[in-house]
Amino acid sequence: MSSALIRLMQLASPILPVGAYTYSQGLEWAVETGAVNSEVTAMAWITDCLEFGSARFEAVYLAQMIRAWRVQDTQRLAELDAEFVASRETAELRAETLQTGYSLTRLLVDLDDFPTTHLAAFPQASFPLAWSCAAAAWSIPLEDALSGYLWAWAENQVMAAVKAVPFGQTAGQRLLLKLGARLHHLAGEAQQTPVELACNYLPAFSIASSRHETQYTRIFRS
């Protein structure tokens, strides 16, 4: 097993200490309203958010960031990071990417073999910026990095659904099998998509996130 693959598994691990498990990205509100109330509806919601949001937008930006890290183009990285943060539709989503980005940056700085100077120019990095820095520094192949990033996102959403809907662990694993089958194709598309064509038009997702901000009872931070 290559060292790059081992590093990718570390980055995509659900125990990566960045706090991602505390966020549902609006899924909790969709459960509250009854829009997501079963394995079938959870699959539909997560698949749409994966294909039309994370894969067509976040993964596209992530690919561009990894390429920019590899040539140390800090000006381009600053532009991509600013655009990504500006794309967050709600206060919760913006706070999430900055908090997890900060936590991942702190983690990387504390690791013995990580070149910390790479992130020194970005005191408030978004999560994709910090994640892409690690992927580039550890020489993880681009398509593998994108697949791993999307897997971590999908796994977090499934874990949120298992807790919030709720349904059993076996149902969660069925969802992950179906979602995982799509990742190679989605990652391949993302690495070929110019950043100008990145798109995250998901009105229901944006509404769910904004409504979650004032949801009366909740267990997740977004």
Chain length of the chain: 222
Above pLDDT 90, what percent of the chain?
A: 88
Distance CA 164, CA 37 (A): 9
Q: Are 46 and 178 in contact (CB under 8 A)?
A: no
166 burial level (CB within 10 Å; 0-12, 13-18, 19+): exposed
- pLDDT tops 90 at residue 222: no
Report the range of poorest mean pLDDT among 39-53, 102-116, 137-151.
Answer: 102-116
Query: Which structure tokens are listed for 23?
Result: 């966020």
* Amino acid 47: pLDDT: 98
Query: Which structure tokens are listed for 39?
Result: 């394995």
- pLDDT tops 80 at residue 216: no
92, amino acid identity? E
CA-CA-CA-CA torsion sign (38, 41, 47, 48):
negative
Interval 203-215: pLDDT, tens:
999 999 999 988 8
Question: How would DSSP label each residue in 132-168?
Answer: HHHHHHTT--HHHHHHHHHHHHHHHHHHHHHHHTT--
- Report the candidate in 26, 33, 171, 39 with the shortest Cα–Cα distance to residue 90: 26
Average pLDDT over the chain, rounded to an integer: 94
Interval 19-77: pLDDT, tens:
999 999 999 999 999 999 999 999 999 999 999 999 999 999 999 999 999 999 999 99
Residue of higher predicted confidence among 97 and 213: 97
Distance CA 93, CA 157 (A): 14
Question: How would DSSP label each residue in 71-109?
Answer: TT-HHHHHHHHHHHHHT--SHHHHHHHHHHHHHHHHHHH
At residue 1 the predicted structure's pLDDT band, cuts being 50, 70 and 90, is low
Task: Please give the C-alpha separations between residue 4 and each of 19, 66, 69, 138, 145, in angstroms, as whole numbers.
Answer: 23, 14, 16, 6, 10
Q: Are 75 and 196 in contact (CB under 8 A)?
A: no
At residue 185 the predicted structure's pLDDT band, cuts being 50, 70 and 90, is very high
Token look-up 């894969």 returns 55
Ordered by where they begin, the domains of the chain are: 3-10+21-212 (1.10.4190.10)
Report the predicted TM-score, pTM, of the whole model to 2 decimal places: 0.96
Q: In the predicted model, what is the mean pLDDT of residues 80-84? A: 97
